[in-house]
């Protein structure tokens, strides 16, 4: 049977983890949907990260930091992620490979905010999903739970960091607004102009797909 070009493109567009470049000019996929080529695992635990059905999975018995081999400075990062009860991860940006990415780089929080375990702990405002972890608080109430996919866009443009979750701008921060010497000392990553992008697993199952990036000048 002969397959037309239109049929081929339709099939590719429907495949998990595949991003059609024509639909998003300037974006490059960071994940091929099949392998972890282009990624490096740092401080891995257990199975680390695996690929299942076209998604990157941090299994409950895995974790660590899965970083891009390349470094990025100013960019638009788009991805989808999902979690289940008690899910906890993060998206690291402008991070070095070594050290705690939430401090030596920056972590955009990914958390099952409404889970009982975290509500009992008493989360700080800067620990909710979409926050620049422990620096800038995100607006709450936009996380889809229990295995539903969330769409996220992270824009890092100079000293500006903007996070959009499921179509809602939840964090729009200027890093230069941080004046507290103690915060600056604890978060040297706020001064970094470039670094790796990655996932910061914490021993709960979290999945990622449709990961793509557009460098900005």
Q: What is the CATH number of the domain that holds 168?
A: 2.60.120.560
Asked if 74 and 217 count as a contact pair (C-beta separation under 8 A), the reply is: yes
Tokens in use for 51?
């690929």
Element (H, E) at 75: strand 75-83
* Domain enclosing residue 106, as ranges: 40-215
Rounded to an integer, what distance in angstroms lies between the CA atom of residue 33 and that of residue 209?
Answer: 8
- Confidence (pLDDT) at 210: 98
With a threshold of 0.85, does the pTM exceed it?
Answer: yes
Domain tally, the chain: 1
- Confidence (pLDDT) at 6: 42
- Confidence (pLDDT) at 202: 87
Whether 189 maps to a domain, the answer reads: yes
Whether 7 maps to a domain, the answer reads: no
Averaged pLDDT, groups of 10, the chain, 217 residues long: 39 41 83 98 96 98 97 98 97 98 98 95 96 98 97 98 98 98 98 98 96 95
Collapse the DSSP code of 134 into the 3-class scheme (helix H, G, I; strand E, B; otherwise coil) and give the result.
coil
Rounded to an integer, what distance in angstroms lies between the CA atom of residue 113 and that of residue 169?
Answer: 17
């Amino acid at each position: 049977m002969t397959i037309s070009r239109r049929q081929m493109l339709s099939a590719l567009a429907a495949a998990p983890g595949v991003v059609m470049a024509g639909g998003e000019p300037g974006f490059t996929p960071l994940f091929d949907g099949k392998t972890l080529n282009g990624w490096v695992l740092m401080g891995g635990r257990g199975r680390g990260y695996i690929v299942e059905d076209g998604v990157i999975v941090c299994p409950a018995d895995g974790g660590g930091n899965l970083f891009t081999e390349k470094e990025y400075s100013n960019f638009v990062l788009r991805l989808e992620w999902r979690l289940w009860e008690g899910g906890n991860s993060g998206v690291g940006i402008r991070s070095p490979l070594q050290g705690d990415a939430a401090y030596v780089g920056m972590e955009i929080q990914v958390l099952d905010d409404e889970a009982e375990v975290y509500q009992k702990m008493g989360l700080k405002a800067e620990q909710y999903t979409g926050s620049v972890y422990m620096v800038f608080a995100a607006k709450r109430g936009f996380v889809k739970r229990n295995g539903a996919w969330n769409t996220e866009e992270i824009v890092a443009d100079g000293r500006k960091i903007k996070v959009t979750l499921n179509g809602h701008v939840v964090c729009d921060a200027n890093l230069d607004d941080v004046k507290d010497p103690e915060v600056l000392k604890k978060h040297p990553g706020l001064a970094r102009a470039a670094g790796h992008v990655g996932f910061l697993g914490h021993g709960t199952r979290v999945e990622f797909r449709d990961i793509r990036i557009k460098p900005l000048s």
